[in-house]
Amino acid sequence: MQSFSQHSDLKHNTKQADFAQNLMSSICGDHRLETTYRDTLDFQYDGLRLPKKHMTIGCIQYGANVAINISQLKAYSISLPLHGKQSLNIRGEHYQSDQSSGLIVSNNDFQDLFIDKDCKKLQVVIPEKSMQLVLSDLLNQPIRDSIVFNPTMNLALDQMIAAWWSNIQNFMLVKAQYTGFYGLQMFSEDYENFLIKALLLSQENNFSAALREGSCQDIPLFIRNVKQFMMDHAHEMISVEMILHVAGVSKSKLYEQFQYYYGMSPLAFLKKYRLQKVYKILSSRKQQEISISKVAYDWGFSHLSRFSQEYREEFGENPSETKAKFQ
C-alpha cells in the first residue's frame, strides 16, 4: 500500500479503485470500496490535512457508482454533496443525502455508504481522539464513551449546520493559499477546535443533553422555564398571558432577556420551533401519508395561507415541495 499518512496537501486522481481505497483509508480509516468499475473510475480528491488535530478537509468524487463498506473507522467522515446524491444504511435505517442534507458516518457500527456516479462532495474527516479531546474540554471531564451523531445534517432545518458547511466551502475556495503557508502550524489548532466545537454543539449527538445543560447554566431560570414550557406545549394554543404567567416577570423584562439569550422574542422562538417540527414530519418517509394541513393544525398553525408563507420564508420552499423531495 502506498503511504499517504505524512502528506498535508492531498491532490490525487486515478482510474484505479485500489489506489482510491488506499488513499481514502489513509484519510478516513480502513474501509472496503466496492464497484464494478475497478479500472475505469474517474476518482478525484483535493484536500488538506491540518497539522494539530489532524483534521482533513477536501473535495471528492468517484465518477462511478460505488459502495463503501465501513466497520471501525476511528474517525468521523462528514460529507455534503455539491451535486449528485449519496445514501447511508445503518442497521436497516436508510439516510439520503444531497445538496440540502449532509451525512455523518460515526465510528460506531457496520455501515454502508452508497455514492452515485455524478456525486461530487465536500468531506471533513475528524479523528475520534481529536473529537473526544475537544468534547472533554467543553464538558470539563474525561470522555470514555464513543460520540455518536445523528447521521443526517439538514441544512434547511438548522441554520448553524448550514453555517458550518458554508465555512467549509469557504475554506476550500482559499485552500491553495494555506498550502505551504508558514503560519498554518500556528493558527491551525484554533481553526480545528472551532470546527469541532461548532459541530458538537449544533449537530445532535449522544452528549448533546450534557452540552445543553452546561451551556444553560448562565441563562436565568425564568428564561429556561419559558423556553421549556413552549417546547412542551407547542402542540397547544399558547398565549402571551400564559407565557408571562410561567415567567413570573414583566413582559418587558421577559422579552428583553429572551432576545438577549436567543436572538428573538418568545413568540418568534415558538413559531420557529413549530415550523421545524413540521419540516421534520414532512421530510420523513414514514409520514408521507399524512396531509400537510393536518400537520400544520397539529402544530398550532390555524391559518394555512399564513403557515405556507411563513414556511417558505423559513425553508425557502413550499411545504408540498419538502414532502415531494422525500417521497
Confidence bin at 96 (pLDDT 50/70/90): very high
The span from the CA of 322 to the CA of 327, in Å, is 9
Compute how many other C-beta atoms are within 10 angstroms of the C-beta atom of residue 1. 10
Cell 445523528 locates to: 150
Give 272's Cβ-side CA count (13 Å radius).
14
d(Cα 199, Cα 218) in Å, to the nearest integer? 21
3 in any annotated domain: no
Determine the pLDDT at residue 287.
Answer: 65
Coil/strand/helix, residue 52: coil
Do both 38 and 85 map to the same domain? yes
Cα-flanking dihedrals φ and ψ of residue 10, to 5°? -120, 105
Contact (Cβ atoms closer than 8 angstroms) between residue 205 and residue 148: yes
Average the pLDDT over 105-134 and give the result: 92
The count of structural domains within the chain is 2
4 — pLDDT class (breaks 50, 70, 90):
very low
Mean pLDDT of the chain: 89
Residue 260 phi/psi, 5-degree rounding, is: -65, -45
- The larger pLDDT score, comparing residue 107 to residue 256, is at 256
Report pLDDT digits (tens) over 271-284. Answer: 999 998 998 888 87
Q: How many residues does the chain have?
A: 327
Q: Is the pLDDT of residue 295 over 90?
A: yes
End residue of a domain, out of 213, 248, 272? 213
Whole-model pTM over 0.95: no
Q: Do 126 and 247 reside in the same domain of the chain? A: no
Q: Do the domain assignments include residue 1? A: no
Q: Is residue 34 part of a domain?
A: yes
- Which of the listed residues 179, 213, 247 is the one where a domain comes to its end? 213
Q: Both 147 and 79 in a single domain?
A: yes
Residues 263 and 153 in one domain: no
In this model, does residue 74 exceed pLDDT 90? Answer: no
Per-residue pLDDT tens for 159-207? 899 999 999 999 999 887 877 777 777 888 899 999 999 999 999 999 9
- Work out the average pLDDT over 82-89: 96
Q: Give the side-chain half-sphere CA count within 13 A for 35.
A: 25
Q: What percent of the chain has pLDDT over 70?
A: 95
Q: Which domain does 286 fall in, by range? A: 221-325
Helix then strand count (H, E) for the chain reads 13, 12
* Amino acid making up residue 245: H
Q: Helix or strand or coil: residue 80?
A: strand
> Sorting pLDDT into bands at 50, 70 and 90, what band is 108?
low
pLDDT at 2: 44
For 147-167, what is each residue's pLDDT tens digit? 999 999 999 888 899 999 999
Q: Are residues 207 and 235 in the same domain?
A: no
Give the CATH number, domain containing residue 114.
2.60.120.10
What's the pLDDT band for 288 if we cut at 50, 70, 90? Answer: low
Q: Which of 60-64, 154-158, 300-304 has the highest mean pLDDT?
A: 60-64
Domain boundary among 213, 232, 261: 213
- pLDDT score at 38: 92
Residue 197, CA distances (Å) to 100, 137, 138, 264 in order: 22, 10, 8, 23
pLDDT of residue 231: 92
